[in-house]
Amino acid sequence: MQYRILGRTGVQVSTLALGAMNFGKIGRTTQDEVTGIVDAALEAGINLIDTADVYSGGESEEMVGKAIGGRRDDIVLATKATMPMGDERNRQGGSRRWLVTALEDSLRRLGVDHVDLYQIHRWDSNTSDEETLSALTDLQRAGKIRYFGSSTFPAYRIVQAQWAAREHRLSRYVTEQPSYSILQRGIETHVLPVTEQYGLGVMVWSPLASGWLSGAIREGSEITTSRSTFMPQRFDTTIPSNRARLDAVEQLAKVADEAGLTMIQLALAFVTAHPGVTSALLGPRTLDHLYSQLAAADITLSADVLDAIDGIVAPGTDLAAHEKNDTPPALLDSSLRRR
């Protein structure tokens, strides 16, 4: 396992990190399975575990808390908030009112007195940067969080938050967690240059592109991945963006074969090769999934392989831009762009 400094925090984290979205109902995993995955990940040298309150309605945090019992000090523990936690309208977002409550709930589920990294899961357009940063700064000063970061923020919002922190003399986001893979390279255009400029640590999610880069999806084979069962529209190859992904996968498979690598090794080594990326978040549902991904821990891609990948999916290109989850609200809500 390799390690990098998380932004400018001085904290060393593994280049492969454990994402816990599949823990609980979403991934149909039991506590014993989760504990086994966590044990194997820590044994392999992973020291960063990332979860969120919304994952399986809090079940993921509870499972992580039980799995890390007695080993809390050896783990960089991260969680997230702002996504809806129930039907009540104020149990979401970036307000002080909700973040204070959400953090207390997360700490209780995790069974800890603090988290190392608390992340704003999505930018809340209804809440000012000053409101959110002020609440996070106070929680940090109270010792309940060590650092805080953002997740899936557009580049201009990352910049705005940095300036808001400076203007109001508040602590700032020190990390960003965007989606990034060979098939979704849009963050290379704006987000990664900005995070590098401001010295943010970057932990990327979905480096296997929801399973497209797992090796299980190939031309002529039925797509039966777990994700395809509850998100079928993302894998319908009659849709042009999905057809483009399948065509790219076939070409990437040849690059991987010629390099003596699995598709998973190629995909994970690609995202960690970028100098702006700190860690790639793995999202295993089983131990076999974890082991296949850990095989990428010591892989370094040659310039020829990276050039070949660029020839298949050009730098800065998203093959499915509509899946980025950072679309400005005005493009989604007509009332925000019309009088």
- List pLDDT tens digits, range 95-109: 999 999 999 999 999
Residue 253: what pLDDT?
97
Q: Which residue has the tokens 């979905």?
A: 206
Alpha carbons 6 and 76: distance in angstroms, whole number: 11
**pLDDT reported for residue 104:** 98
Separation CA 336–CA 339 (nearest Å): 8
Dihedral of the alpha carbons of 63, 181, 201, 11, in degrees to the nearest 10: 50
pTM above threshold 0.75: yes
Is the pLDDT at 233 greater than 80, yes or no?
no
Per-residue model confidence as pLDDT tens digits over 8-61: 999 999 999 999 999 999 999 999 999 999 999 999 999 999 999 999 999 999
pLDDT confidence tier of residue 220, bands split at 50, 70 and 90:
confident
- The span from the CA of 59 to the CA of 56, in Å, is 5
CA atoms within 13 A on the CB side of 81: 26
The pLDDT value recorded for residue 339 is 66
Report residue 325's pLDDT band, with 50, 70 and 90 as the boundaries: confident
pLDDT of the residue at 264 = 97
In contact, 178 and 204? CB cutoff 8 Å:
yes
Q: Would you please indicate which residues are annotated as catalytic (active-site) residues?
A: 55
Q: What is the pLDDT of residues 162-217, one digit of tens each?
A: 999 999 999 999 999 999 999 999 999 999 999 999 999 999 999 999 999 998 88
